[in-house]
């Protein structure tokens, strides 16, 4: 199986390297281009629709590899794969149309809900079990599971789009999250999810050859939405055959886009601006303002995403053995570093830094006491 997985990864990456230049030409021909404005970093017209290259590489590699997989999939695993392919295709089409025609936000939102409903009701994909700290695995009632799954799919699908502001940023962060899921899937013996992750990872890495700074093509909404959808299904349903390993693990996996989104909501609320209004206060904008170069900013965020990935692996491993104290350590470490990082970078406010100010007062007080002695 390892040989097949490795071949699949290489095939997907090779396809992405070969198909992306063709997708670039196609995007320019049909007018799927990104025009610079005040909020964007790039200064020239760029072809988007790069997500089509990722999608095609993944799908072709999957069907090329399928006859050589010796494993026999269960009915549940087959449903999961079908849901992933159908929902992913629907999401890709939405993003591709948006890359070309800039669809209204309300229309995209309704379409995403329809896609999530197709996945949930058409293939019976929903949260089945939850492992909440200090309790055992328990069944989740359908009246809770169904809306939770739909909200999760729609929310995560859009979360990746919010960090797609620099060359290679969203693709790289998604790749790190997917690689993390692959590691956990291997540890848990989930060959289906591991296979999907490796094929998707190969497709993204192949695309990054053309998307990392200086980018030759953007992945656009077609890529951001498709990768967001992929993360939604793989992170929520990819463990223990369509079950949550821990209530917190999927949240940690998408820690970068999720935290950036939450900080944006708080920031706009404090500034009395509409929650969905665009601004230049996102993580990558703040890092650029601190003087980091384009590449340095992207690599810093990659490191943050990798940090979240390690926490997710620790958390999921602890959940398997009911080591609940690890959960609270992970939560504490994550929240502490998120708050400190947000204050240093200025994600919420450029002037108000309560935790850093508190630490500074403590240090000043300690220095004064030492001086008096």
The string of DSSP codes covering 263-311 is: HHHHHHHHTT--TT---S-SHHHHHHHTT--HHHHHHHHHHHHHHHHHH
Contact indicator for 127, 237 with CB cutoff of 8 Å = yes
Say what the pLDDT of residue 106 is. 92
Q: What angle do CA 192, 195, 197 make, to 5 degrees?
A: 110
pLDDT reported for residue 323? 59
Q: In this predicted structure, what is the pLDDT of residue 120?
A: 94
State which residues form the domain around 100: 2-372
What pLDDT does residue 319 have? 60
Q: How far apart are CA 113 and CA 154, in angstroms?
A: 6
Tokens of 242: 């369509």
Give the pLDDT score at 245.
44
Predicted pLDDT at 32: 93
Question: For residue 43, which phi and psi values (nearest 5 degrees)?
Answer: -115, 5
- pTM for the whole structure: 0.85
- The C-alpha atoms of residue 30 and residue 66 are separated, in whole angstroms, by 33
Q: Is residue 250 a contact partner of residue 232, using CB atoms and an 8 Å limit?
A: no
- Residues in the chain predicted with pLDDT less than 70, given as ranges, are 36-43, 71, 128-141, 237-250, 275-281, 318-325, 327, 347-350, 367, 369-373
ω into 214 cis (within 30 of 0): yes
- Report the pLDDT value the prediction gives residue 164, as an integer from 0 to 100: 80
Do 54 and 226 meet the contact criterion of CB atoms below 8 Å apart?
yes
Cβ burial of 186 (10 Å; 0-12, 13-18, 19+) is: middle
Q: Say how far apart CA 36 and CA 44 lie, in whole Å.
A: 6
Phi, psi (degrees; rounded to nearest 5) at 134: 65, 25
Collapsing DSSP states into helix, strand and coil, what is residue 239? strand
pLDDT score at 244 = 41
Query: For the chain, what is the domain count?
Result: 1
Judged on CB neighbours under 10 Å (0-12, 13-18, 19+), 357 is exposed
pLDDT of residue 3: 86
Q: What is the pLDDT of residue 371?
A: 65
Report helix, strand or coil for 352: coil
Do 327 and 315 contact (CB within 8 A), yes or no? yes
Matching residue, tokens 């609940």: 324
Give me the residues paired with residue 46 across strands: 34
């Amino acid at each position: 199986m390892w040989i097949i997985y490795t071949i699949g990864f290489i095939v997907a990456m090779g396809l992405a390297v070969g198909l992306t230049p063709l997708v670039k030409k196609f995007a320019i021909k049909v007018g799927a281009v990104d025009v610079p404005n005040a909020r964007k970093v790039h200064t020239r017209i760029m072809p988007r629709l790069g997500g089509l290259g990722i999608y095609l590489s993944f799908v072709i590699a999957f069907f090329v590899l399928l006859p050589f997989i010796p494993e026999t999939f269960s009915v549940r695993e087959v449903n999961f794969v079908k849901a992933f392919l159908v929902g992913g295709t629907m999401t890709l089409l939405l993003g591709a149309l948006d890359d070309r025609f800039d669809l209204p936000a309300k229309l995209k939102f309704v379409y995403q809900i329809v896609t999530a409903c197709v996945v949930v009701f058409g293939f019976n994909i929903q949260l089945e079990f939850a492992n909440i700290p200090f309790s055992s695995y328990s069944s989740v009632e359908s009246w809770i599971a169904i809306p939770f799954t739909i909200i999760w799919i729609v929310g995560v699908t859009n979360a990746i789009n919010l960090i797609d502001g620099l060359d290679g940023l969203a693709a790289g962060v998604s790749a790190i999250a997917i690689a993390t899921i692959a590691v956990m899937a291997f540890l848990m013996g989930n060959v289906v999810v591991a296979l999907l992750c490796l094929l998707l990872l190969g497709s993204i890495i192949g695309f990054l050859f053309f998307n990392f700074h200086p980018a030759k093509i953007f992945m656009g909404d077609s890529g951001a939405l498709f990768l967001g959808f992929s993360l939604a299904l793989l992170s929520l349903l990819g463990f223990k055959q369509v079950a949550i390993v821990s209530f917190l693990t999927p949240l940690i996996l998408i820690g970068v886009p999720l935290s950036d989104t939450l900080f944006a909501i708080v920031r706009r609320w404090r500034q009395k601006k509409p929650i969905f209004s665009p601004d230049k206060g996102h993580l990558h904008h703040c890092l650029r303002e601190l003087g980091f170069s384009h590449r340095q900013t992207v690599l810093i965020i990659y490191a943050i995403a990798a940090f979240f990935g390690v926490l997710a692996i620790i958390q999921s491993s602890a959940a398997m053995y009911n080591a609940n104290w690890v959960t609270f350590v992970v939560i504490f470490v994550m929240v502490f570093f998120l708050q400190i990082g947000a204050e240093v970078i200025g994600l919420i406010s450029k002037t108000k830094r309560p935790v850093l100010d508190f630490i500074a007062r403590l240090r000043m007080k300690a220095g004064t006491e030492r001086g008096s002695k």
